[in-house]
Amino acid sequence: MKFSKTNLDGVVIVEPKVFGDHRGWFMETYNETNFIEAGINVKFVQDNHSFSATKGTLRGLHYQLNPKAQTKLVRCTKGAIYDVAVDIRKGSSTFGKWFGLELTEDNKKQLLITEGFAHGFMTLTEEVEVQYKVDEFYAPDCDRGIIWNDPEIAIEWPMDVTPILSAKDEKAPLLKDAENNFIYGE
């Protein structure tokens, strides 16, 4: 596995080795030893799988408050997405900054997003499947979000369309108004 740092400390691109032949291919999507050797010590407790039928579907930007904050390992297993992480750690030198990466079934890249970041993605194709591991169970009382088009964050989404949102995501607040208990450096 190859681990590449991004402009945000706590967001890492993970590229599995893919072994292929005339029958197809095989890859390890997670190997605890490789992660620990890369300085990432996380115990995943839940796997999630989402399906989006329509191109332009946007899910996020979501996060969970402490003590149920989540680290995620995200991959696209069918189609393509633009995956985004936003630093919401108050006091961080990159607070409010974002990182985006295209994850596709073909490039097989994954994005590791540690706690203290809001996460979301936009589908770039029809019929998209996304799988992700988390290190903390879903906690409805800690579930929060930030509006996808917050002008202070200014995410450069790759499609010039009005995204398809859930009712919950349509009502998400701006980052400056969002409930947040992530203090950088604690």
Alpha-carbon separation of residue 125 from 69, 100, 104, 122 (angstroms)? 30, 17, 10, 9
pLDDT at 179: 87
Catalytic residue among 30, 49, 62, 138: 62
pLDDT at 184: 73
pLDDT at 96: 97
Cβ-contact 174, 146 below 8 angstroms: yes
For residue range 89-111, what is the model confidence (pLDDT) as tens digits?
999 999 999 999 999 999 999 99
Q: Does 132 participate in catalysis according to the annotation?
A: yes
3-state DSSP assignment of residue 141: helix
H-helix or E-strand spanning residue 59: strand 58-64
* CA-closest candidate to residue 134, choices 45, 31, 63, 14: 45
pLDDT at 186: 58
pLDDT at 161: 84
Low-confidence ranges of the chain (pLDDT < 50): none
CA 138, distance to chain mean position in Å, is 15
Catalytic residue among 30, 49, 132, 138: 132
